[in-house]
Amino acid sequence: MNIPLVDLGAQHAEIADEVRAGLDEVFARTAFVGGPAVGRFETAYAAYVGAAHCVGVANGTDALELALRAAGVRPGGEVILPANTFIATAEAVSRIGALPVLVDVDPTYLLIDPAAVRAALTSRTEAIVPVHLFGQVAPVEEIGKIAADAGVPMIEDAAQSQGARRFGQPAGSFGLAAGTSFYPGKNLGAAGDAGGVTTSDAAVARTVRVLSAHGSEHKYDHEAIGFNSRLDTVQAVYLEAKLRRLEGWNAARRTAAERYGAALATVAGVVAPTSAEGNEDVWHLYVVQVDERDRVLASLHDAGVGAGIHYPTPLHLTAAYADLGLGRGAFPVAEAAADRILSLPMYPHLTADQQGAVVEALATAVGG
C-alpha cells in the first residue's frame, strides 16, 4: 500500500491540456513577466474571494509581508498571531523588523484564541493576523471586533483556506487585506512558488503592487525601495486552469472529510476534526488527535500511509524564535496539540477505498 499525504498527479492530469495551450501562448508571445495571464488570474481570483483586488506576488510569505507593510506595520511594531501556524506567518512580521506577538489557540479547532488576542494587545500593536488553519476560517467576527476596537487592521493569513467560507463569506475577504499562498500543495496550488494579496482597499492594493515591483508603478519611477516579488506568468497560466476546478475539488475534499468522520466515529482513541458553526471548511489538511502520536505515525508510515504533522513545533519552541524568550508552558494548548496532531492523507482525488485503508491502518496503530 502507498497512499501519499498529498497527490498532485490527478489534479495535473485534469488540467494538463489546458495548461499546455496556455503555455504555448506565453512562449509564442515571450511575455515571461506580466502579460495577460497574470491580469486574468488576478481578476478571476479577486472575484472568487469577493475582494475588489488581487495582486499576484512571488509566494505566500511575501504576500503576508507586503500586506502587513501596506497596512502600515513598521519596524518595532507588534503583530499578534497564533503560536500554532507555519513559520511563514511570523517570518513575514520579522522581516519587516516588527515583533511577532504569539498567542495560544483554542483546543477544539486549534485556531487563534480571541481572548488571548485581547490579552496580548498593547499600545504598540499594529496588526492582528488570524490564520485560517487547515482549511477552516478563524473566528473573524471576534478578531475583527478586537482589531476595530484597538484601531488596528486585521490581516488574514489565508494560505490554507482558498474557497473556505464563514456564514457564506469567503476567507480572504474579512480583513483589510489577506495574504495567500499558491504553493503546489495548497488547495489552489501552482507549479512552483506563487502567492497573492486580496483586498477591497484600493490604496492597500496599490501599495502592494508598487512594493512588489521595485517600488514603482511606472517603470523606472521608483517611489519606494521595494521588492522583486511578482506572480510568475507561467504560474498564472497554471493557476487559472486550477481555479476553474477549485469549487469541485473543494467539494470532493468535503466528501472525503465526511467519509473519514463517519469511519473514525467508531475508532476509539482517535479524535476526528469538526467544523466550527458557520464554517464551510475546505479541508486543506485533515488533522486528527491521538495519544502516543509518534508511535502511531511510525506505524502508519510502516503501513504505507503518508501521514504528517502540521506542525510539530509551536513557533515559540523553534530555534528561530528562541529569542522571544518564551519557553515550554507559554502556550499550553498549542504545546499539547503539537504532541497529539496527525494529518491524514487528504486531496480531492482520494478514493473511498484509500480512505478505508487509512482508517484501518490507523485503527490498528492506535489499538496496538
Binding residues for ligand PLP, per CB under 6 A?
59-61, 85-86, 88-89, 131, 157, 159-160, 181, 183, 193, 195
- Closest CB to ligand PLP among residues 264, 314: 314
- Closest CB to ligand PLP among residues 67, 146: 67
Least distance between ligand PLP and beta carbon 356 (Å): 29
Least distance between ligand PLP and beta carbon 349 (Å): 21
Separation of alpha carbons 101 and 77, rounded Å: 10
Separation of alpha carbons 96 and 294, rounded Å: 36
- Closest CB to ligand PLP among residues 193, 335: 193
- Closest CB to ligand PLP among residues 11, 180: 180
Q: Which residue is nearest to ligand PLP (CB)?
A: 60
- In degrees and rounded to multiples of 5, residue 288 shows phi and psi of -95, 170
Kindly report whether the peptide bond that precedes residue 260 is cis, defined as omega within 30 degrees of 0. no
- Closest CB to ligand PLP among residues 95, 301: 95
Question: Residue 199 pairs with which residues in a beta bridge?
Answer: 53
Spatial neighbors of 42 by CB under 8 A, at least 6 apart, are 53, 54, 55, 56, 196, 231, 236
Spatial neighbors of 14 by CB under 8 A, at least 6 apart, are 245
Least distance between ligand PLP and beta carbon 157 (Å): 5
Separation of alpha carbons 7 and 214, rounded Å: 36
- Closest CB to ligand PLP among residues 333, 359: 333
List strand residue ranges (DSSP E) for the chain, in order.
53-57, 78-82, 99-103, 125-128, 155-157, 165-166, 169-170, 177-181, 195-199, 279-280, 286-289, 341-344
Least distance between ligand PLP and beta carbon 119 (Å): 23
Least distance between ligand PLP and beta carbon 64 (Å): 6
Cell numbers found for residue 143:
478578531
- Closest CB to ligand PLP among residues 3, 92: 92
Residue tagged 502511531 (cell numbers):
296
Least distance between ligand PLP and beta carbon 177 (Å): 14
Specify whether the CB–CB gap between 59 and 183 falls below 8 A.
yes
- Closest CB to ligand PLP among residues 11, 61: 61
Least distance between ligand PLP and beta carbon 29 (Å): 26
99-103 sheet: strands from edge to edge: 99-103, 78-82, 125-128
Render the burial of 240-271: b for 16+ CB within 10 Å, e for the rest: bbbbebbeebbebbbebbebbeebbeebebbe
Least distance between ligand PLP and beta carbon 353 (Å): 29
Cell numbers found for residue 10:
490527478
Least distance between ligand PLP and beta carbon 62 (Å): 7
- Closest CB to ligand PLP among residues 48, 134: 134
